[in-house]
Amino acid sequence: MLVRRRTKAALQAAALFYATDRGWPVLPGAYVDQDRCSCRSLRCPEPGAHPADAVDLAAASRSSQVIRTWWSRRPYSVLLATGLEFDVLDAPAHVGYAAIHELNHLGFTPGPVVHLPSDRLLFLVRPGARDVYWYTIDHNDAAHLDVRHHGIGHVVLAPSGPCGADGPEPRWAVPPDPVDRRLPEAVELLGTLVRSCQQDPARPPHAREEVSG
């Protein structure tokens, strides 16, 4: 799925908001130019969703000066480095929305959630979620379920404004709260996410029986 060009100013504003208002380190990502990823690879598996050429993951920054310089050059996509200020739980969108619905029903707000153009939801949780993720996956015999964890050494694509008319964009399924900056613990979401995956009507019936029995 291609991520279309947005203006450098809008992208810079989004990057500055994440870095200075939220304290989330950002990184310039590749971008799509004339329907091709700026890395120029015809087989790029993630157009616009990986770090720009010659930018190392360790360069992720919260400095407004660095961010202004990066986004004055190119319409880079906005990437957020995971494992520092937050980890990410990643699930198919329909599974993630079912989990959000159930959490809301229980009176719990999941915290910021990104809806990617690839139709997946990214749940931002407090960092250090790796152990609880693997414990939950093992404990629920859920290794075959499509729930992923992104911690140190990963980046995720962030929304850079409202959906444009010129193509799909990442957007907020649950936007960051303007006041409350706390993030949920992974353990508060994982059980519900795994259960939504197990009950997913799109899964083959024998797979659903296997995990529910």
For 39, counting Cβ atoms within 10 Å of its Cβ (0-12 exposed, 13-18 middle, 19+ buried), the class is middle
Considering the complex, what minimum distance in angstroms separates the CB of residue 48 from Zn ion?
A: 7
Nearer CB in complex with Zn ion: 48/184 = 48
Nearest distance in Å: CB 45, Zn ion? 8
Contact flag: residue 44 with Zn ion (CB under 5 A): yes
37 binding Zn ion? (CB under 5 A)? yes
Which residue in the set 2, 10, 39, 187 belongs to the binding site for Zn ion (CB under 5 A)?
Answer: 39
Q: Does 30 bind Zn ion (CB under 5 A)?
A: yes
Nearer to Zn ion, 29 or 159 (CB): 29
Q: How far is the CB of 47 from Zn ion (least distance, A)?
A: 5
43 vs 206, beta carbon nearer Zn ion: 43
For position 3 contacting Zn ion by CB under 5 A, the verdict is no
Q: How far is the CB of 39 from Zn ion (least distance, A)?
A: 3
Find the part of the chain contacting Zn ion (CB under 5 A) among 26-34, 124-132, 133-141, 195-203: 26-34
- Using rule CB under 5 A, residue 84 touches Zn ion: no
Q: Point out which residues bind Zn ion (CB under 5 A).
A: 30, 37, 39, 44
